Amino acid sequence: MNRNPDILVIGLGPAGACAAREAAKSGCSVLALDRKKIPGTPIQCAEFVPALIGNEVDQLSSNSVQNIASMLTSIENAPPDIMADFPGKMIDRAAFDANLAKAAAKAGAQCRYGQSIRDISADGRVSLGNGTIITPKVIIGGDGPHSIAGKAIGSVNTEILETRQICVPLCRPFSSTDIFLSAEICGGYGWLFPKGKYANLGLGVVAEKKADLKILLAKLHQKLVRDGRVGEQVISHTGGAIPAGGMIKPYGILGKTLVLLAGDAAGLTNPITGAGINAAVISGQLVGEAAIDWLQGDRQSPINYTQGLEDLFGASLKRALKRRRAFVNAYANENTPTPDQLRASWIAYSDYWAA
């Protein structure tokens, strides 16, 4: 392991792997570490990717499990509304992450798994769980919503959604993403995303309601069983945190070490939908370029990187954050959101896109 790399990438999810690949292509030394022992495992993702990302990632098609054509949105117990043109793909996220990491290694990055970060000091030294000290010139944090790199520079995601997901067998195939909006799913929504013979069934709620997830998900599961859509069997469980407060400052300086954040670590996940793979891939590429620019003497690179993220994601994140906060505020004073308020909180409805 190179203990004095030009660039240390923390996290080998889509953001970190794309950053490592982009940076390594320049010929500088890149060390990329991930606490997971196996890329992408355990899966903490609903695995749906909108069609847009197909222009960004070569590995998408080879990791695709099923095409998605439309979106069905159910509000409380009303019949679902159909958004007929909503193309995308369900992917094998573990294989997707593994292939991105392979691409980073092929470009020259040194990728190491099963490596936890214990601490990042005020002068930019990184202590691993096994006692190893790494002294990079640049740190890239692609380490998710509770980023240790972000914590080191005081850029922390403070608004979090908690999720729980199960994999269940499908009773019949379909090609839509199903969304379930209900006042009892506080600050979030439910989903049923098909993967051939199986589906990912999950829920997301505000962090304060995390204890409700198990009961709410079991209730939704049983409803879909009664409807004859899914089977009783639960094949696997997963869950995790999603940043829901919009973009945070994506850079800082520790001593002489530049720290840059990408993907979930930078708060680029959509606060309404929770979608983050597209932003992770794009920001990973951009942050790799920014790190190289810094090493080549461009002291404006962190500011340019920030502006680039604002240009690409700023408008959509601000709209989503505005809608989410209105939605969450509807719960104030023990009130619950009405169907109209639920409708205004979701991307399938014109109310969401209104000024």
> In this predicted model, what pLDDT tens digit does every residue of 221-243 receive, in sequence order?
999 999 999 999 999 999 999 99
Tell me if residue 344 falls in helix, strand or coil: helix
Task: Identify the CATH number of the domain in which residue 26 sits.
Answer: 3.50.50.60
Given a contact cutoff of 8 angstroms between Cβ atoms, the answer to whether 235 and 117 are in contact is no
The predicted pLDDT at position 111 comes to: 97
Task: Identify the CATH number of the domain in which residue 209 sits.
Answer: 3.30.9.10
Q: Which domain holds residue 290?
A: 7-45+92-158+245-321
Q: Is the pLDDT of residue 56 over 60?
A: no
The predicted pLDDT at position 108 comes to: 98
- pTM metric for this prediction: 0.95
Q: Is the pLDDT of residue 81 over 60?
A: yes
> Does 34 map to a domain?
yes
Same domain (yes/no): 41, 136 = yes
Among 45-49, 77-81, 189-193, 249-253, the least confident range: 45-49
> Does 60 map to a domain?
no
Q: Is the pLDDT of residue 54 over 70?
A: no
The predicted pLDDT at position 43 comes to: 80
The predicted pLDDT at position 55 comes to: 55
Same domain (yes/no): 314, 220 = no
Same domain (yes/no): 84, 123 = no
Same domain (yes/no): 150, 15 = yes
Same domain (yes/no): 171, 317 = no
Q: Is the pLDDT of residue 35 over 60?
A: yes
High-pLDDT (> 90) share of the chain, % = 88
Same domain (yes/no): 41, 112 = yes
- What is the number of domains present in the chain? 2
> Does 308 map to a domain?
yes
Beta strand extents in the chain (DSSP E only) = 7-10, 30-34, 48-50, 64-68, 70-75, 81-83, 88-91, 110-113, 117-120, 126-128, 133-134, 138-141, 160-169, 176-181, 190-195, 198-206, 236-243, 251-254, 257-261
Given a contact cutoff of 8 angstroms between Cβ atoms, the answer to whether 175 and 194 are in contact is yes
Same domain (yes/no): 97, 188 = no
Same domain (yes/no): 41, 101 = yes
Tell me if residue 179 falls in helix, strand or coil: strand
pLDDT band at 49 (very low <50, low <70, confident <90, very high): confident
Same domain (yes/no): 238, 97 = no
Same domain (yes/no): 21, 41 = yes
